[in-house]
Amino acid sequence: MGAAGDVTRLLRAMKSGDDSAAEKLLPLVYSELHRLARAYMHRERPDHTLQPTALINEAYLRLAHDDIDWQNRQHFIAVAATVMRRVLVDHARAHNAELRGGNLQRVELDEGIAISAERSKELLALNDALTALETINPRQARVVELRYFAGLSVEEIAAALDMSPRSVKRDWALARLWLFKEIQKNCPDQGN
pLDDT confidence of residue 165: 94
Highest mean pLDDT among 40-54, 60-74, 134-148: 134-148
Please give the pLDDT value at position 90. 79
* Whether the Cβ atoms of residue 92 and residue 115 lie closer than 8 Å to each other: yes
Ranges of each domain in the chain = 3-186
Reported confidence tier of residue 174, pLDDT bands at 50, 70, 90: very high
pLDDT exceeds cutoff 60 at 13: yes
Prediction pTM value: 0.61
Residues with Cβ within 8 Å of residue 72, at least 6 apart in sequence = 4, 7, 8, 11
pLDDT in tens, 15-37: 887 878 888 888 888 888 888 88
